[in-house]
Structure 1
Amino acid sequence: MNPNDKAQNIEFRENYRQTQIGPYYRGLVHFGFTMTFAWSIIIYSIFQLENVQPLEYLTVLVTFLYANFVEYIVHKGPMHRPFKGLNIIYKRHATQHHIFFTDHHMQFDSIRDFKAVLFPPILIAFFFVFFALPAGVLINWLVSSNACFLFIITAFFYFALYEVLHTTYHLADDHWVYRFAVFRKLRKLHQDHHRIDLMAHNNFNITFPICDWLFGTYYREEAIDRQGEASSKT
């Protein structure tokens, strides 16, 4: 990271904190609200299940894949490309999050920086109203109430996992969580996504890179480098 880019990143961070993070903001409260919201719905939905049939459990797998696709398509779409009526998503992600966190400066400086990662309540409501609720109503009508609640449980568990993993990727480089290879690998994929030349083209899955593999947007720097070395020798 050259000195000019580093200085610009520091300047942007300070300006963001002054203009976007209120004096009463508490990162742990924000994180706690997100987890409480998700897990309250999960626990409530678990208690609504009655005599679940084996085939109904397929809802979990289908919902997991649906959530992975939604994560991918929303990230690839309105988060990185301005869409009419969805500018708040583009502004918050592409013009704030990706400037606050670069591939050379991924970590939080303090817990207050959680504001630059966690979804605000208004965006949580957006995804709930436009993605979770319509699908849940349709499943309840076409399949069963059990399938509907299994969908809700899986969808909100996926959302909570998304927030936890995304927060994890922006911890300090030497954080203990990176002792686990799976977190190191997932974080590296996300760090590559924060490269300015890749952010609008590669690694849109935050959790599991399933849709990135399927749609050809998976990028892993080490693999590309090895391919380049092999081709140069031939």
Structure 2
Amino acid sequence: MSVNEPAAPRPPRRAEIAARIPRGYCPALHLVAPTLVGALVFAAAARLLEAVEAVELLAVPATLLLAFAFEWWAHRSVLHRRAPLLAALCDRHEREHHLAFTADDMALRSSRELWLVLTPPASGLLCLALLLPLAAAAGALFSRNAALLGLATAMAFFVSYEWLHLAYHLPADSPVYRVPGLARLREHHRRHHDPRLMKRWNFNVTVPVFDLLHGTRWSPRPRKGA
């Protein structure tokens, strides 16, 4: 590099990123509000169900499959690629979340860092606003029960995404990892936080269904003779 050439800007450190969190930020409200929205919608949809037929229950696995697919696509094609009109989401994800939490330093250091892990505080209401037209379409195409089951499943998925992602950013010795399978899911996500892997591998945050289907699930190759 020429002596007259300006040095490349240094990536912001975790403390610098955390310093940008709004002063009046309330971590408890950020965690509870979207969860409460999801729980209320789930309960309301379940209460409105009437005489559910067996075939209508297929709305649950169908919705989950679509949710896994959307999670994989959005993480890969929006949060790690500068898509038109959505570049700010990519910048926030890569320049804040991934720089604050690296593969060898995944754990939250304070509750205020929930700002860097959870989706934006109004995301529960935004998710509901996007789902309602889809539920109306499902009701017109299939049945009222199918629409309600799909809506309830989608909101449950949204809440599970929030809580699982939070769990992955707890200390590795947290008692939550006594839940069967959770440590393996955390490891799947931890590998995604390796800067060398994040743009190509391990895009599912909840369950790596579409990472398996698309061949984007990365795991260490076994050594020869092992």
Q: Give the structure-1-normalised TM-score.
A: 0.87
Q: Deviations over 1:144-181 (max 9, x none)?
A: 11111100100010111111100000001211122344
Which runs of structure 1 show a deviation greater than 6 angstroms over 4 or more consecutive aligned residues?
none
Number of positions where the alignment pairs a residue of Structure 1 with one of Structure 2: 217
Structure number with higher helix proportion: 1
Partner of 1:143: 142
Is residue 63 of structure 2 the alignment partner of residue 68 of structure 1?
no
Q: Deviations over 1:66-92 (max 9, x none)?
A: 000011000011010011111232122
Between the aligned partners of 2:185 and 2:143, the Cα distance in structure 1 is: 36
Between the aligned partners of 1:92 and 1:39, the Cα distance in structure 2 is: 28
- Does the 8 Å contact 2:34/2:123 carry over to 1? no
Between the aligned partners of 2:192 and 2:125, the Cα distance in structure 1 is: 26
What is the percent sequence identity of the aligned residues? 31
Structure 1 residues not aligned, in runs of 5+: 1-7
Partner of 2:3: none
Between the aligned partners of 2:25 and 2:123, the Cα distance in structure 1 is: 17
Partner of 1:15: 16
Partner of 2:174: 175
Partner of 1:229: 224
- Does the 8 Å contact 2:30/2:121 carry over to 1? no
Partner of 1:92: 92
Amino acid at match of 1:51: A
Partner of 2:5: none
Between the aligned partners of 1:114 and 1:176, the Cα distance in structure 2 is: 19
Q: Map 1:1-234 onto structure 2 (within 5 A).
A: 12-19=13-20, 21-124=21-124, 126-130=126-130, 132-221=131-220, 224=221, 226=222, 228-230=223-225
Query: Over aligned residues, Cα RMSD in angstroms?
Result: 1.8
Amino acid at match of 2:162: E
- How far the C-alpha of 1:65 sits from its partner, in A, is 0.4
Amino acid at match of 1:50: E
Residue 169 and residue 112 in structure 1: after superposition, are their counterparts in 2 closer, same or farther (change >3 A)?
Answer: same
Structure 2 residues not aligned, in runs of 5+: 1-9
